[in-house]
Structure 1
Amino acid sequence: MTRLTIVTDAWYPQVNGVVRSIENTNRELTRMGLDVSMVTPRDFRSIPCPTYPEIRLAVTLYGNVARLIESYQPSYVHIATEGPLGLMARHWCLAHHMPFSTSYHTRFPEYVSARWPVPEGWLHAFMRWFHNSGNVCMVATDSLERDLAGRGLRHLARWSRGIDAGQFTPRPLEDRPFGLPRPIFMTVGRVAVEKNLPAFLDLDLPGSRIVVGDGPVRAALERRYPDVLFTGAKFGRELAAAYAQADVFVFPSKTDTFGNTILEALASGVPVAAHPVTGPADILGGHPEAGALNDDLRTACLTALQRCSRTAARDLALTYSWEAATRQFFDNVMMANGDRLLPVAAE
């Protein structure tokens, strides 16, 4: 049996795009007949990340990580993150001459610089050092690939994302969802500094604004914006039901590499308003009936409200599937090892 080991510093109890992407990909890989094993912070003692306690950082020795990887006897290794476990897995692969793939999920230099006074140039050099040692580095979009190639990253390959269109689906609209007047402008995700939430919350918009999610700056933003509803984190059916009541989904981030929540909103029949940056521009570009892009986020919000279609939003989301994205992912994994053929599970 083909055995794939995925190493990630991002895993539960975190809930973010990285975790969801890996979780959905693992499900599809298992359906394809692969034996998938994981190396995550849950395998070791961990501590909260400074300034971001929801993120747990593994505290362990290289030998412990090496023994765990070796116990899985992997045919292939994929390193999803550049954290402590990713660094030790990288070292193990290089020491054992094991080809490996990586993925660029997060604009790590921009995220770190938003919290600590570390020059972005140093961090971009670290990312080149980390990813260029692998055989393939997976990126989600065309624009991200162009950006990273310009920064010296090599061996770039595309890995898109999918959507569970059965979970995230249009529903009947309530007159006053959450007890608030329409139109409803909503954003969903981590309530953290890199998400650029004030760019949305400072806007003069009709109706109501809702933030679904939790994170380190939630309390501060609740004090600063008392007229905004902060619901906290929602999951599963409750999250899907919340999405479906929005009139416009607002994506204020300028640093995400894709934006899984954009697909979740579109699948729920909700038009999207965003800046024309990596992620939103790749998904919505050429689809003005499904969402609006503008450097002026207020203009984007009002355009999405007045001119976009809930049907068009749903139709765009349906062009994405986790099955297609996962086959793309595993083709990249095998390409890193000099193989281009996908295994087919027995019927």
Structure 2
Amino acid sequence: MRILLATDAWEPQVNGVVRTLSRVTEELRAMGHIVDVVSPDQFPTFPLPTYPEIKLAIGAYEPVQERFKLFEPEAIHIATEGPIGLAARRICLEWKLPFTTSYHTKFPEYVSARLPLPLAAGYTYMRWFHKPSGRLMVATPTMRDELAKHGFRNLSPWSRGVDTDIFKPRQPGEPDLFEGLARPIFLNVGRVAVEKNIEAFASLDLPGTKVVIGDGPQREELAEKYPEVKFLGAKFGDELGRYFGCADVFCFPSLTDTFGLVILEAMAAGVPVAAFSAPGPVDIIPGSNAGVLAPGQTEGLREACLACLDLDRTVVRKFAERFSWRACAEEFFRNLQPYPEPEKTRFWRRLRRLARLRKKTAA
């Protein structure tokens, strides 16, 4: 199948959304599908205020139109709600093309945490954006229930995967990357920003050492406020995997993630996860023997971290092995809206004629 993916989140951004989309794209291509990715690196951009790592495309509408015509997709997925997503959405509605969307981040909560805007305004925009979608793919049952309460429809499950070759337990003889630091090591990995609630972790009274890996606008502020916490900056790939494997407990304090891919990455490294009872953790941790939930969303995280020290790391790893990127890609593919065969569709036949005329004119 020819699949067009329109996304405002793509490499070189480093976050769970990009990892999910890039890995699913790789798996789809390995399954024999043709995937065309429309992403910000193909346009002039400007940095998103308060989140400069995200580049927003300028003047996307007409170039995206051309991509539609040239690629002739059999399925269209719009992954994000930014300028590229808006352009693709507009084209699909104007040309009466079915499409799917996905809900990767709690956008209203992110905006509300950074700007003086009410949650209701954010959810109004998100409902408007996703309403025409044939299927809105959501990572967890808790998130689906929450969106349904906010009036979203056509919700379909789309879970996540983890690379168990990169994220794996530390092997005998491998160096301890936290050598010299007091044990146990309590680790957090992610963007150091207000919406990730990292201060809830940094402020905990825990034995050993608290370590934060990642970068972001709140890093300097938190490093100054909590000098006992080790802020190591961003790490990537195999090196990041080794840091995971050397930790004793992973602490995930976020209340705004829809899944929390780093939870699976920690578990794949055999590191149990302590988290608040929020969407993502409540769908992964209960019954897994791979982590401990705090009883609420504001307290009990310290006790959850300490309880994780008693969990069997072998059991933690085995739980993570249930998740694969191939299964994630297969579920994504099943969610795509069925398209009529292109050769039977008058719209695509017309576009093919236009394409042939352009080629003749150019010759």
TM bracket (short chain): over 0.9
Structure 1 pair 338–304 and aligned structure 2 pair: CA distance change class (3 A):
farther
Q: Paired residues, what number?
A: 335
Q: Tell me the distance in 1 between the aligned counterparts of 2:185 and 2:3.
A: 43
**How far, CA to CA, are the matches of 2:180 and 2:337 in structure 1?**
51
Q: Residue deviations 1:210-252, cap 9 Å, x none?
A: 0011111111111111111111111111000000011000000
Matches within 5 A, 1:1-347: 2-172=1-171, 177-287=178-288, 289-294=289-294, 295=296, 296-305=300-309, 307-335=310-338, 337=339
Q: CA deviation at 1:172?
A: 3.6
Secondary structure at the counterpart of residue 283 of structure 2: helix
Distance 1:209 1:108 in 2: 28
Identity, % of aligned positions:
52
Q: Is the CA contact 2:182–2:208 (under 8 Å) kept in the aligned structure 1?
A: yes
Q: Which letter maps to 1:89? A: A
- Is residue 176–residue 182 contact of structure 1 (8 Å, CA) maintained in 2? no
Task: Determine helix, strand or coil for the equivalent of 2:114.
Answer: coil
SS of equivalent to 1:186: strand
Alpha-carbon distance in 2 for matches of 1:155, 1:70: 27
Q: CA deviation at 1:318?
A: 0.7
Q: Are the equivalent residues in 2 in contact too, given 1:39–1:69 (CA < 8 A)?
A: no
Alpha-carbon distance in 1 for matches of 2:325, 2:149:
29
- Distance, in Å, in 2 between the alignment partners of 1:184 and 1:61 is 46
1:344 match? none
Alpha-carbon distance between aligned partners in 1 of 2:312 and 2:283, rounded to the nearest angstrom:
19
Q: CA deviation at 1:334?
A: 3.5
Change (3 A) 1:303 1:316: same
Summarize the Cα distance change of 1:268–1:55 in structure 2 as closer, same or farther, 3 Å threshold: same
SS in 1 for 2:228: coil
Alignment partners' CA distance in 2, 1:101 and 1:88? 14
- In structure 2, give the amino acid aligned to 1:76: A
Shift of 1:177: 1.6
In the TM superposition, what is the alpha-carbon distance from 1:119 to its structure 2 partner? 1.2
| Alpha-carbon distance, 1:276 to partner | 1.2
Distance 1:256 1:105 in 2: 8
Pair 1:66–1:309, CA change in 2 (3 A): same
Q: Separation in 1 of the partners of 2:180 and 2:102? A: 41
SS at match of 1:152: coil
Note the residue ranges of structure 1 that are not aligned, 5 or more in a row.
Answer: 340-347
Say whether the 8 Å CA contact 2:76–2:98 is kept in structure 1.
yes
* 2:184/2:248 contact within 8 Å kept: yes
Which has the higher mean CA deviation after the structures are superposed, 262-271 or 69-78?
A: 69-78
Is 1:199–1:252's contact at 8 Å kept on the other side of the alignment? yes
Alpha-carbon offset, residue 176 of structure 1: 7.3
CA distance in 2, matches of 1:6, 1:236: 24
* CA separation of 1:267 and 1:176: change in aligned 2, threshold 3 A: closer
Query: Residues 214, 134 of structure 1: CA spacing in aligned structure 2 closer, same or farther, 3 A cutoff?
Result: same
Q: For residues 61 and 184 of structure 1, do their structure 2 counterparts lie closer, same or farther at Cα, with a shift above 3 Å needed?
A: closer
Instruction: Output one character per residue of 1:92-117: Cα deviation in whole Å (capped at 9) or x when no partner.
Output: 01111110000000000000000111
Query: Secondary structure at the residue paired with 2:159?
Result: coil
Q: Partners in 1 of 2:53 and 2:221 — Cα distance?
A: 16
C-alpha contact (below 8 Å) 2:16/2:261 kept by paired residues: yes
CA deviation map 1:231-282 (0-9, x unaligned) = 1111111000000011000000011000100000000000000001110110
Q: Post-superposition shift, 1:326? A: 0.7
Deviation at 1:178, TM superposition (A): 4.5
SS at 1:114 equivalent: helix
Structure of higher CA gyration radius: 2
Amino acid at match of 2:317: R
Alpha-carbon separation, structure 1, partners of 2:251 and 2:291: 10
DSSP-derived class of the 1:185 partner: strand
2:196–2:254 contact (8 Å) kept in structure 1:
yes
CA contact (8 A) 1:175 1:182 kept: no
- What SS does structure 1 have at the residue aligned with 2:96? coil
> How far 1:175 sits from its partner (Å)?
6.4
Q: In the aligned structure 2, how far is the partner of 1:86 from the partner of 1:181?
A: 47
Task: Give the aligned residue type for 1:298.
Answer: R
> Contact 2:252–2:263 at 8 Å: present in 1 too?
yes
Cα distance in 1 for partners of 2:35, 2:171 equals 39
DSSP-derived class of the 1:255 partner: coil
Match of 2:350 in 1: none
- 1:176 to 1:145, Cα distance in 2 relative to 1, 3 A: closer
Q: 1:160 to 1:338 in 2, by over 3 A?
A: farther
Partners of 1:76 and 1:115 lie apart in 2 by 35
Q: Report the 3-state secondary structure (helix = DSSP H, G, I; strand = E; otherwise coil) of the residue aligned with 2:161.
A: coil
Q: Which secondary structure state, in structure 2, belongs to the residue aligned with residue 36 of structure 1?
A: strand
User: Given the two structures, how large is their TM-score scaled by the length of structure 1?
Assistant: 0.94
Partner-residue secondary structure (3-state), 1:162: coil
